[in-house]
Amino acid sequence: MEFGEYVAGRRPALMRFATVLTCQPWLAEDLVSDVLSRAFERWDRISRMDQPHAYVRRMVVNEYLSWRRRLARTTPRADVGPDVGQLGDGADERAERDAMIRRLAALPRKQRAAVVLRYYAGLPDAEIAAELGCRVTTVRSQISRALATLRIDLTADRHAYQETT
């Protein structure tokens, strides 16, 4: 498979994956662009693999994890809330998606990566462990902790909603 064919066929899927992983479309765009430029340089070797897409997806995860470390050190922090007043058509779906992305963004990076690989990419524990470079039991504990945190957030959101109505 030529690199151009791969990019044409798989870039949208990589963008969706990276957007869910980073919770920021602009960062996902940068992440995928950087990964694809590095993959282009090594495409002769990558294209001969059994699953080149799995390898490139792993590159995205690794780049995301290293970017998170760099961004944590260099990004200024401010208390700016989301602007929910400008929702158009499909407002309920967008609001639900944005709320989930905010909840995912609050998770530690390894937990978020494990949850995204499990529930978005649909990978089994063994493949997630291989992509994250850890043991299967670590993947299970990361996902368990992440789901517990997400449940707590959902419960708190429901109580806050009921108090305002």
- Token reading at 147: 């789901």
From 108, 102, 120, select the one nearest 64 (Cα to Cα): 108
Is the model's pLDDT at 145 over the cut of 90?
yes
Ordered by start, the domain boundaries in the chain are: 1-74, 93-165
Specify the pLDDT at position 157.
Answer: 58
DSSP string, 81-133: ---GGG--TTHHHHHHHHHHHHHHHHS-HHHHHHHIIIIIS---HHHHHHHHT
pTM over 0.85: no
Is the model's pLDDT at 131 over the cut of 70?
yes
Q: CB–CB of 102/82 below 8 Å? A: yes
- Residue-wise pLDDT for 42-70, tens only, equals 999 999 999 999 999 999 999 888 866 66
Is the model's pLDDT at 31 over the cut of 70?
yes
Q: Mean of the pLDDT values across residues 115-131?
A: 91
Largest CA-CA distance found in the chain, in angstroms, rounded: 60
Label residue 86 by pLDDT band (50, 70, 90). low
Give the contacts of 87 (CB within 8 A, at least 6 positions apart). 94, 95
* Of 59 and 158, the one with more pLDDT: 59
**Helix 3-22 and helix 52-74, axial crossing angle in degrees, nearest 10:** 40
Give the contacts of 101 (CB within 8 A, at least 6 positions apart). 20, 23
Separation CA 153–CA 99 (nearest Å): 10
Label residue 153 by pLDDT band (50, 70, 90). low
Is the model's pLDDT at 100 over the cut of 50?
yes
Specify the pLDDT at position 87.
Answer: 46
Angle at 154 between CA 145 and CA 96, to 5 degrees: 115
Q: Which fold has domain 93-165?
A: Arc Repressor Mutant, subunit A (1.10.10)
Across the chain, what does the average pLDDT equal?
A: 83
From 81, 113, 111, 75, select the one nearest 98 (Cα to Cα): 81
Q: Mean of the pLDDT values across residues 61-89?
A: 65
